[in-house]
Amino acid sequence: MTTSLSSLPEIGPDHPRPKGGGWFAQLLRRLHFYAGIFVGPFILIAALSGALYAISPQIEKLVYADELTASASGLALPLADQVTAATTYTGGGETISAVRPAPEPGTTTRVMFDDPNLGESESRAIFIDPTTAEVKGDLTVYGTSGSLPVKTWIDQLHRGLHLGDFGRFYSELAASWLGIIAGAGLCLWVLRARRARKASALLRPTTKHKGLRRTFSWHASVGVWAAIGMLFLSATGITWSQLGGDNVTKLRAALDWSTPAVSTELGGDSAEHGGDGGHAGHAENESHEGHSGHEGHSGKGGGNPSGPGEALDASGIDPADFDMMLSMARDVNVNTGLVEILPPADADSAWVVQEIQRSFPTEVDAVAFDPDTMELTDRVDFSDYGLVSKLARWGIDLHMGTMFGLANQIVLFVLAIGIASMVVWGYVMWWQRRPKHDPARRFGPVPVRGALATAPRWALVAVALAAMGIGIFLPMVGVSLLGFLAVDGVLGMRTRRRSRGRADTEAQSL
């Protein structure tokens, strides 16, 4: 729902200041209202696309059943055979970027290749049946999570409306204000509950009333239950944003809260980076260019016509090395089915074998090996992570719905629908509050200004410092807040002019 500034109602004597709550409650009402009106559409889009993202794993399994499903019976062939089949299928002109062995019987192995025609963090994945070395599909995958085209499309809709980096400002605006709106609404609910005879009644929507009171009860009761979830989604969503996310990364680096990452430099020590493996985006990367990928050529290229070691990729890596690296990593600390093997990027880089299990318990251990000496050069275990890094990892996985599987997805879906509903109820209440005696006014009154005029001096200083601090750390909040103030100033001047005009008219009529 969109509105023009001219459709906003006037503030005047016919809309007196509500009683109770003092200056703080009045400030919260005004902030909650203005932010909800102007940012509501962005939050609504983010919530609905987020609900769709929450169920995207099931959509993937349905749409890409042929690519993801393999023979459940029979022993798995060596990775060398599977890699050779994929390399033979592609013609050997592309470089292998990673191999993900089938995590369990009945699933396929992914052999991923660098493709200059794809976007950042995208790879061409060949899906191999581990028991027959048959090529099951050929698709574009995205990021560490290995999202397939449908999920990638949903992810990019949620994060940037398919508008590239510019579109990401929409999601940053929604994430930044979601927590503020939720916090203000929660405070207003608490203030109202303190005055209520039975506060527990405010935890559920009323069925006794109709119209505005019923809509308000739904908005308020659902809001108080969803508040914690909204604050969580806001905090974790900001870490993916461009402006605010960059400030979060700088803050973590300054406080030495960075996440340890295995070093690929031969002879180097473990590196530190500001991300959490998931800072790169909802599919755990920063890419936003959409690609349909290479549609699956299911059933083609089956078998291993060249034999292991005979079909090499563009870098000349021996397919048998993937078996060797995985075996050595198993002897160190890699003990899960969800594993990724990354060959050296150049002559001065090491092999990396890392766990990619994002469900609980988290398994993200990683090791690096010298390709010449086959010696361990670096090792990072999840137990090496600091508390903040672990919380960040868990927070990202909860936000993405991977930490607790289907239960996590259901909670996110319900929460997203609840947030979308509260936005709609907010606009409905604005319409229901319109003055019935004045048909020219299509919407309800804005909470009156002047709350800070009655506040003590220390409160003025505290509010100003808080607004400046939040606006600097979250630039999208700062810019939009200035916009709110500008709109409010224009509306205030218009109201004063109309009031003076009415006063002059009345004086002339006397």
In a domain, 270, yes or no: yes
pLDDT at 73: 83
- How many domains, the chain? 1
CB 368 within 8 A of CB 377: yes
Lowest mean pLDDT: which of 5-9, 201-205, 245-249, 344-348?
5-9
Residue 283 vs residue 325, higher pLDDT:
325
Q: At 148, is the secondary structure helix, strand, or coil? A: coil
Q: Determine the residue type at 210.
A: K
Residue 504 has pLDDT above 80, yes or no: no
Say if residue 400's pLDDT is above 70.
yes
For the cut 90, the answer to whether the pLDDT of residue 189 exceeds it is yes
pLDDT of residue 507: 61
Give me the chain's average pLDDT, please.
84
The percentage of the chain sitting over the pLDDT mark of 90, rounded to a whole number, equals: 62
For residue 317, CA distances in Å to 148, 312, 366, 464 come to: 26, 6, 21, 60
373 assigned to some structural domain: no
| Angstrom distance (rounded) from CA 421 to CA 482 | 27
**3 state DSSP class of 122:** strand
CA gap 25, 191 in Å, rounded: 8
Residue 262 belongs to domain spanning: 1-325+399-510
- Using CA atoms, how far residue 431 sits from 165, 194, 203, in Å, is 35, 27, 24
What single letter denotes the amino acid at residue 131? T
Tell me, yes or no, whether 458 lies in a domain.
yes
Q: Which amino acid appears at position 121 of this protein?
A: S
The answer, yes or no, to whether residue 18 has pLDDT greater than 80, is: no
pLDDT of residue 298: 34
pLDDT at 405: 93
Categorize the per-residue pLDDT at 278 as very low, low, confident or very high, splitting at 50, 70 and 90: very low
- Is residue 134 a part of any domain in this protein? yes
Domain assignment of residue 150, yes or no: yes
Q: Residue ranges of the alpha helices (H) in 79-148?
A: 79-90
Contact call for residues 138 and 109 (beta carbons, < 8 A): no
Burial 193-218 (b: 16+ CB within 10 A, else e): beeeeeeeebeeeeeeeeeeebbbbb
Rounded Cα–Cα distance for residues 113 and 126 (Å): 8
> What confidence score (pLDDT) does residue 1 get?
36
Confidence of residue 301 (pLDDT cuts 50, 70, 90): very low
On whether residue 103 sits in a domain, the answer given is: yes
| 92-96, 161-165, 296-300, 470-474, range with the lowest pLDDT | 296-300
135: β partners: 128
User: What pLDDT is recorded for position 277?
Assistant: 39
Contacts of 455 (CB under 8 A, 6+ apart): 23, 24, 27, 463
Q: Count the neighbouring beta carbons within 10 Å of the beta carbon of residue 61.
A: 12
Distance CA 498, CA 10 (A): 9
- Is residue 345 a part of any domain in this protein? no
- Among 82-86, 140-144, 456-460, 484-488, which stretch is predicted with the lowest mean pLDDT? 484-488
Structure tokens at 472: 């600097």
Question: Is the pTM here over 0.75, yes or no?
Answer: yes
Q: In the predicted model, is pLDDT for residue 17 greater than 80?
A: no
Higher-pLDDT residue of 293, 432: 432
Of 311-320, 329-338, 364-373, 401-410, the range with the lowest mean pLDDT is 311-320
Residue 369 tokens, joined: 């090996």
User: Please, what is the Cα angle at 15 between 12 and 19, to 5 degrees?
Assistant: 130
If you average pLDDT over residues 121-136, what whole number do you get?
96
Mean pLDDT throughout 155-159?
Answer: 95
For residue 390, the Cα-to-chain-centroid distance in whole angstroms is 18
Question: pLDDT digit string (tens) for 419-469?
Answer: 999 999 999 999 998 877 766 666 767 777 778 888 899 999 999 999 999
Higher confidence at residue 219 or residue 453?
A: 219
Average pLDDT over residues 106-117: 94
Share of the chain above pLDDT 70, in %: 83
Per-residue confidence at 303, pLDDT binned at 50, 70, 90?
very low
* Spatial CA neighbour of 354 closest among 260, 275, 286, 288: 260
pLDDT attached to residue 322? 97
- The one-letter amino acid code at 382 reads F
Q: How many CA atoms lie within 13 A of 201 on its CB side?
A: 10
Measured CA to CA in angstroms, residue 363 lies from 46, 71, 335, 394 at distances of: 29, 26, 9, 11
389 falls within a domain: no
**Stretch 50-73: mean pLDDT:** 95
Check residue 72 and give its pLDDT: 81
Helix residue spans in 17-73 (DSSP H)? 22-54, 56-63, 65-68
Q: Is the dihedral of CA 242, 248, 251, 257 positive or negative?
A: negative
DSSP secondary-structure letter at 349? B
pLDDT at 251: 92
Q: Over the stretch 373-389, which tens digit does the pLDDT of each residue have?
A: 999 999 999 998 999 99
pLDDT of residue 500: 72
Token pair 């499309």 is at which residue?
A: 153
Lowest mean pLDDT among 24-28, 293-297, 505-509: 293-297
pLDDT in tens, 36-52: 999 999 999 999 999 99
Assigned token pair, 398: 């909860």
For residue 106, what pLDDT is reported? Answer: 94
For residue 400, give the nearest of 247, 236, 289 by alpha carbon: 236
